Amino acid sequence: MGRSAAWLLCVIALTLAGCASHNKSAATDNTIDLGPPPPRKQIRPPDPAQTQPHRTFRIHVQRADVARGERLDKAWSLVRIPLGDAALERWDSNGLRAGLLETAQLAAFSRQLPKRLNEERQMILTPEGRDAVLAAAPPLNRKTIIEWAEDDGQTRPLLLQPGQPQFLLSVAAQPDGLLRVTFTPHLYYRVATLLPQTPDEFDHSGRVFTELAMSMMVDKDHALVLAVVPPPPIEGPPAATQPETQPADPAATQPVATLPPPPPPLRLGDVLLAARRLKSEVQSVLVISVTEE
């Protein structure tokens, strides 16, 4: 091959390489950069309590079961009840009561309780701002009608679905060192829905009695006490009066049969803190103390 032919081949090769480079550059310049793919959408916005550092609290629960008919007056005299608390008044109207007990009085409170038919203790760990579940009664196996007290004091029948009566309990630390403990009555049962649910929404399924949410401030020297409001005493029939003169008809002296008084209406407190255990009707008294983990 002559020198002229070699130069010709070099010129052709450089020309082809320049065209390829030009085509590649043109293709690159016409490409649109879409960036990274967008993030997947979430079912619900993230809970700030889960995304921020939180504190953990230890909840100690002592449950004492006493006979349903026993009164707790002696033990309850040691409990301090904040006056003028509208939430506590609404609790009382629905068969629930709560108060503060000095930890130094725990032994005296226990001694003043009637004979205990059963006792249990449990410990719950819960992060700040999240609801813990506290159940003291067995599930409702059938629909139940209770007497429900409205905010204005009026009462009406309320139908409860079968489910698990329980309390939702949350703890929040305060700047002054106290702990705010919030109790919300809850009847848990599954509700059919086609919408996706977060775990928190799943746990709150059923009937949450937000209108009865009640908060109390506690410290390490006090415990919370929950119990059932005792029903009003049932008055017996009036005593029969003896006639001044003996009637001529002996049948008139026969005693008249009287019907027993009707039982008191069932209230929400009875559903949450009363039950039938070991073939006995019992009421549960809860003593709750909270410490930081």
Instruction: Provide the sign of the torsion angle of the four alpha carbons 289, 149, 270, 78, taken in this order.
Output: positive
The separation between CA 144 and the C-alpha centre of its own chain, rounded to angstroms, equals 19
Q: Dump pLDDT digits (tens) for 217-240.
A: 999 999 999 999 987 665 555 555
* pLDDT over threshold 50, residue 167: yes
Token couple for 202: 């799943």
Q: Give the count of domains, the chain.
A: 1
What residue numbers bound the domain in which 166 lies?
A: 57-231+266-292
- Residue 256 domain-assigned (yes or no): no
- Residue 147 domain-assigned (yes or no): yes
- Residue 247 domain-assigned (yes or no): no
For range 190-213, the mean pLDDT: 86
CB atoms within 10 A of CB 262: 7
d(CA 89, CA 97): 8
For range 250-257, the mean pLDDT: 61
pLDDT of residue 256: 64
Distances (CA, A) of 3 to 11, 12, 16, 148, 267: 13, 15, 21, 110, 112
Instruction: Provide the sign of the torsion angle of the four alpha carbons 242, 248, 252, 254, taken in this order.
Output: positive
Pick from 18-27, 41-50, 108-117, 258-267 the range whose average pLDDT is largest.
Answer: 108-117
Token couple for 191: 């509700």
* pLDDT over threshold 90, residue 196: no
Helix (H), strand (E) at residue 280: strand 280-292
* pLDDT over threshold 80, residue 44: no
Q: Dump pLDDT digits (tens) for 10-28.
A: 656 556 555 555 454 444 4
Listing DSSP states for 117-146 in one string gives EEEEEEEEEEETTS-EEE--SPPB-S-EEE
- Residue 28 domain-assigned (yes or no): no
Q: Which residues pair with 116 in a beta bridge?
A: 66
Q: Name the nearest CA neighbour of 170 among 218, 108, 239, 202.
A: 218
d(CA 73, CA 52): 45
pLDDT of residue 115: 93
- Residue 44 domain-assigned (yes or no): no
- Residue 200 domain-assigned (yes or no): yes
Q: Dump pLDDT digits (tens) for 104-153.
A: 999 999 999 999 999 999 999 999 988 999 998 999 999 999 999 998 88
* pLDDT over threshold 60, residue 50: no
Cβ contacts of 88 within 8 Å, gap of 6 or more: 81, 82, 97, 98, 214
pLDDT of residue 186: 96
Q: What SS3 class is residue 16?
A: helix
Q: Which long-range contacts (CB under 8 A, 24 or more apart) does 257-265 make?
A: 261/234, 261/235, 261/236, 264/231, 264/232, 264/234, 265/146, 265/147
For range 147-165, the mean pLDDT: 93
Q: Dump pLDDT digits (tens) for 61-103.
A: 999 999 998 999 999 999 998 867 788 889 999 999 999 999 9
Q: Dump pLDDT digits (tens) for 168-195.
A: 999 999 999 999 999 999 999 988 788 8
Token couple for 251: 């049948």
- Residue 23 domain-assigned (yes or no): no
* pLDDT over threshold 70, residue 254: no
Which comes out higher in pLDDT, residue 286 or 242? 286
pLDDT of residue 216: 93
d(CA 264, CA 80): 27
- Residue 250 domain-assigned (yes or no): no
pLDDT of residue 26: 45
